Amino acid sequence: MYGRWNRLIVYFVVAAILAACVAPGAGTTPEAAETPQTEPTEPVVTDTVAESPAPAGPTEVRIVTVHISSVDAGWDRSFIDSITRVAGQHPHGLTVTHEVVENVPWADAERVMNDLANTGLYDIIFQAGGLRDATCVSAYSHPDQLFGITTNPDGYECYTAEANLYLYNSSSVGECGYLLGALAGLMTTSNTLGVVAGYPASDTNEPINAFIDGSKAVNPEAQTRVTFIQSWYDPPLARDAAESQVNAGADFIWGLVDGTFEAASAGNALAAGIYVDQNYLAPETVAASVVANWDSYFLDIIDVWWEHAGNGSAYSSTEEAISFTLAEGSCDIAITDGLVPANIATQVMDLRQQIIDGTLVVPISSEEPVSR
């Protein structure tokens, strides 16, 4: 009996020793295994800086426009309005900043252009017309600076010399001049119309010739008297010219230079504006305006700069001036409700749509217009 108890005692001792040698959790299911409890630790903070993605390209384009006249003039104001609209579009995601240099005389133009280029502050120097020779010289001296200019392309050999000078056709409102002529031809009661302009340059000749053609297309009896005052900005002289036309029987005066509205109003004639809607200057007199939209030109030259600055493309202007049409947004006509009968406005807008559709082709002539 004692031997039996001795054997049992040995058995239990051996079993206890074997149990102590088994690893914790061995032979148990994962759910039954105990998870050791540890005290929470603070997260380890490493002193690293996350790399931001490289910028996709330029974020800002800086433009300065150079004007021979005051920006109060319709022509010059139209450029300001166009850049404002383009800036609102943020082409290529860019912030467009714009500065103005106005009242630049011919004699000082080359110095002004060179000074602007030498600052390095501007991505695009855009000359609004009238100073093309000085612009050409400055472009030659600053091949890495992008220049733009609006001017008539006739005989402008200097333009082809430098690939960084882009020429934009300033004679882009001819089709809208035709629409204005049609409106005037439908509204006149005396069959006598008047046009007062600065110089017989292509960018004035073309819209005037189109105006005359438009007036005769709807009213073969209409006659247009044309006066050039030999100045781009001389309001008193323009007023004198308009008064002479009113005294000769004109009851609708188109002023391509500032100063004609007072004379038209005093003579109980209607008037038309140019380059911007000028009804605000004479609400009871200005029945319509030809509006110049340079938006396409600025969008184009910003594209040129973007390809150069963002992609390394070389400037490569062409010999032909860059032009846009009414269908491409180069111009439009603003008609004043209350001064123009609805039926006449409808006829003019129908002609506008025909031009856009291509069913009406406006003949464009840069020959010096004559009264006819």
Answer whether residue 366 is part of any domain. Answer: no
Asked if the model's pLDDT at residue 191 lies above 70, the reply is yes
| 283 and 305 housed in the same domain | no
Residue 126, CB-side half-sphere exposure with 13 Å CA sphere: 28
- The residue-averaged pLDDT of 235-241 equals 96
| 119 and 238 housed in the same domain | no
Confidence category of residue 22, pLDDT binned at 50, 70, 90: very low
CB neighbourhood size of 282 (10 A): 17
CA distance linking residue 128 with residue 328, whole number of Å: 20
| 74 and 146 housed in the same domain | yes
What integer best gives the mean pLDDT of the chain?
Answer: 85
| 274 and 306 housed in the same domain | no
Q: Residues 140-154: pLDDT tens digits?
A: 999 999 999 987 766
| 115 and 193 housed in the same domain | no
Answer whether residue 335 is part of any domain. Answer: no
Query: What's the pLDDT at 203?
Result: 84
From the list 344, 316, 321, 304, the residue with the least C-alpha distance to 181 is 344
Query: Strands 165-169, 192-197: parallel, antiparallel or unpaired by DSSP?
Result: unpaired
- The residue-averaged pLDDT of 1-15 equals 40
| 222 and 77 housed in the same domain | no
79 close to 64: Cβ distance less than 8 angstroms: no
Answer whether residue 41 is part of any domain. Answer: no
Asked if the model's pLDDT at residue 2 lies above 50, the reply is no
Asked if the model's pLDDT at residue 29 lies above 90, the reply is no
242 close to 260: Cβ distance less than 8 angstroms: yes
On the 0-12 / 13-18 / 19+ scale of CB atoms within 10 A, 194 is buried
| Token digits of residue 131 | 């100073």
Confidence category of residue 158, pLDDT binned at 50, 70, 90: low
Mapping DSSP to helix (H, G, I), strand (E, B) and coil, where does residue 324 land?
coil
Answer whether residue 20 is part of any domain. Answer: no
Query: What's the pLDDT at 171?
Result: 78
Answer whether residue 119 is part of any domain. Answer: yes
DSSP characters over 9-27: HHHHHHHHHHHHHSPTTTT
Q: Residues 300-351: pLDDT tens digits?
A: 999 999 999 989 999 998 777 888 999 999 999 999 999 999 999 999 999 9
Q: Residues 47-83: pLDDT tens digits?
A: 434 444 445 679 999 999 999 988 888 889 999 999 9
Query: What's the pLDDT at 334?
Result: 97
Q: Residues 259-311: pLDDT tens digits?
A: 999 999 999 999 999 999 999 999 999 999 999 999 999 999 999 999 999 89
Please give the residue range of the domain that contains residue 244. 174-291+341-357
Query: What's the pLDDT at 65?
Result: 97
| 91 and 219 housed in the same domain | no
| 130 and 200 housed in the same domain | no
| Token digits of residue 82 | 């166009």
CA distance linking residue 317 with residue 301, whole number of Å: 10
| Token digits of residue 118 | 């030498």
Q: Residue 274: which CATH number?
A: 3.40.50.2300
Query: What's the pLDDT at 207?
Result: 95
Q: Give how many domains the chain has, as a whole number.
A: 2
Answer whether residue 15 is part of any domain. Answer: no
CB neighbourhood size of 265 (10 A): 18
CA distance linking residue 24 with residue 209, whole number of Å: 105
Q: Which helix (H) or strand (E) holds 271?
A: strand 270-275
Confidence category of residue 104, pLDDT binned at 50, 70, 90: very high
| 151 and 163 housed in the same domain | yes
| 211 and 282 housed in the same domain | yes
| 305 and 165 housed in the same domain | yes
Contact residues for 285 (Cβ-Cβ < 8 A; gap 6+)? 261, 264, 265, 269, 270, 271
Answer whether residue 43 is part of any domain. Answer: no
Answer whether residue 202 is part of any domain. Answer: yes
From the list 223, 219, 261, 216, the residue with the least C-alpha distance to 242 is 261
Query: What's the pLDDT at 156?
Result: 61
| 218 and 229 housed in the same domain | yes
Asked if the model's pLDDT at residue 4 lies above 50, the reply is no
- The residue-averaged pLDDT of 233-249 equals 95
Mean pLDDT lowest among 95-104, 143-152, 214-223, 241-250: 143-152
